[in-house]
């Protein structure tokens, strides 16, 4: 698909499809377009939902005819053709890989898995050509992940590893979805990683447990007060392997309501990234250290 497709989602939604495939450059543009729609405060627009290769607009057709909205969106897309800066946060996510809880869960649903003789993490490691857990976890966490979309249930963030597609870590979903997944499970499906915001069904391969929540309906933690979820589309999440001691330590702070997320606000320049991804990410990392 080379041209943008606009399609009606009934009488009060529009789906704008940029591409059929996942591509970071496309997603950068989608984030920029959605930030601009919000910025322009287009009359009749109720909400926008940026997605991986498309975005959804919910609007009042009484205020704005869908075809007028399409014209308006085309105008906005033209204006952000050369999006040079996006609001993007660098967020530290401490993860206990190969944890006992997701392993226990995997055992309960062994009959739905491709290879129940090994843990989900070992399976992921093997099909992606890694020979040791340490090597895999190091590679898995050596670069930040781009939050390309937020949705499904509140707080679910699709995290895309910021490497070229040939270096992508990929995994099939479970053959049949599980009916249970622990809250905060870190899991991988297709080319995406996600953290389960609440306990519930799921089909991604579970490889670890985040020490920090991504959804906080009770507004227990100061950083999530009034916003309820951790993710913003356009965030960069840096996963950091931790041991059981640090995990327990952070959990205690979360339970006490004193945990503070490590979040650094940065301006992100998509074009500079696309010119030399590794170099630009290193530069942002350096800047973050001094922030």
Partner 1 sequence: MLKVIEPGLLTTVQDLGRFGWYHIGMPPSGAMDNFAFRVGNLLVGNDENAAGLEITYVGPKLEVQQDALIAVTGGDLSLQINNRPALLWQAHRVTFGDRISLGSVTRGARAYFCITGGLNVPLLLGSRSTYMLGRFGGLEGRKLQGGDHLQLGPRPPSSEALLGRAVDRALIPVPSKDLEVRIVMGMCNYRVKDESLADFLDATWEVSTEADRIGYRLKGPTFQFKPGEQPFGAGADPSNVVDLGYPVGSIQIPGGLEAILLLNDAVTGGGYTTIGTVIKADLDRVAQASPGSKVRFRAVGIEEALQARRAREARLAQVRLALGIFDLAGELGQ
Tell me which residues in 213-272 interact with partner 1 (CB under 8 A). Answer: 215, 217, 227-229, 231, 233
Closer residue to partner 1, CB minimum distance, 211 or 224: 224
C-alpha distances in Å from residue 186, one per residue of 4, 158, 278: 33, 11, 24
Least CB distance from residue 242 to partner 1, whole Å?
26
Closer residue to partner 1, CB minimum distance, 13 or 261: 13
Asked whether position 185 contacts partner 1 by CB under 8 A, the answer is: no
Closer residue to partner 1, CB minimum distance, 66 or 208: 66
Q: What is the CA angle 58-59-60, rounded to 5?
A: 145
d(CA 60, CA 46): 7
Asked whether position 54 contacts partner 1 by CB under 8 A, the answer is: yes
Reading the block at residue 6, the tokens are 């606009």
Closer residue to partner 1, CB minimum distance, 99 or 216: 216
Asked whether position 189 contacts partner 1 by CB under 8 A, the answer is: yes
d(CA 107, CA 206): 11
Which of 33, 42, 51, 169 lies at the binding interface for partner 1 (CB under 8 A)?
51
Which of 25, 47, 87, 164 lies at the binding interface for partner 1 (CB under 8 A)?
47
- Count of residues that interact with partner 1, criterion CB under 8 A: 58
Which of 49, 139, 141, 254 lies at the binding interface for partner 1 (CB under 8 A)?
49
Least CB distance from residue 203 to partner 1, whole Å?
10
- Looking at residue 166, what DSSP letter applies? G
- Contact criterion met (CB below 8 Å) for 290 and 114: no
- Contact criterion met (CB below 8 Å) for 54 and 20: no
Least CB distance from residue 76 to partner 1, whole Å?
16
d(CA 142, CA 149): 21
* Residue 102 phi, psi (nearest 5): -70, -30
Least CB distance from residue 20 to partner 1, whole Å?
4
Q: Please report which helix (H) or strand (E) contains residue 266, including its range.
A: strand 263-268
Which of 29, 32, 36, 48 lies at the binding interface for partner 1 (CB under 8 A)?
48
Pairing of the two strands 145-150 and 157-161:
antiparallel
Asked whether position 3 contacts partner 1 by CB under 8 A, the answer is: no
Least CB distance from residue 210 to partner 1, whole Å?
17
Which residue carries 């500079």 as its tokens? 272
Query: Per-residue b/e over 176-207, b at no fewer than 16 CB within 10 Å?
Result: eebeebbbbbbbbbebbbbbbbbeeebebbbb
Asked whether position 165 contacts partner 1 by CB under 8 A, the answer is: yes
Least CB distance from residue 285 to partner 1, whole Å?
25
Q: Which residues bind partner 1 (CB under 8 A)?
A: 7-13, 15, 17, 19-23, 34, 46-56, 58, 61-62, 65-67, 149-156, 158, 165, 172-173, 189-192, 197-198, 200, 215, 217, 227-229, 231, 233
């Amino acid at each position: 698909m080379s041209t943008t497709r606009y399609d009606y989602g009934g009488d009060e939604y529009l789906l704008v499809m940029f591409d059929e495939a996942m591509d970071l450059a496309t997603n950068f543009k989608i984030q920029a377009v959605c930030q601009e729609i919000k910025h322009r405060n287009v009359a009749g627009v109720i909400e926008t939902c940026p997605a991986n290769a498309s975005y959804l607009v919910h609007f009042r057709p009484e205020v704005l005819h869908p075809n007028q909205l399409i014209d308006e969106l085309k105008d906005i897309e033209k204006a952000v053709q050369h999006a040079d800066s996006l609001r993007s946060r660098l967020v530290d996510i401490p993860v206990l890989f190969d944890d006992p809880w997701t392993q226990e869960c995997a055992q309960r649903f062994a009959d739905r898995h491709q290879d129940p003789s090994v843990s989900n993490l070992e399976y992921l490691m093997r099909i992606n050509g890694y020979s040791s857990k340490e090597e895999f976890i190091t590679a898995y966490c050596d670069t930040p992940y781009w939050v390309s979309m937020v949705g499904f249930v509140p707080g679910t963030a699709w995290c895309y590893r910021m490497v070229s597609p040939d270096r992508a870590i990929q995994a099939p979903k479970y053959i049949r979805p599980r009916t249970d997944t622990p809250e905060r499970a870190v899991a991988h499906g297709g080319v995406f990683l996600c953290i389960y915001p609440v306990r519930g069904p799921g089909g991604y391969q579970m490889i670890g447990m985040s020490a920090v929540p991504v959804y906080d309906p009770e507004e227990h933690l100061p950083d999530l007060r009034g916003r309820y979820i951790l993710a913003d589309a356009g965030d960069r999440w840096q996963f950091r392997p931790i041991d059981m001691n640090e995990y327990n330590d952070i959990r205690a702070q979360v339970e006490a309501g004193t945990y503070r997320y490590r979040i650094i606000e940065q301006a992100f320049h998509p074009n500079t990234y696309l010119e030399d991804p590794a170099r630009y990410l290193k530069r942002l990392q350096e800047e973050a250290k001094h922030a």
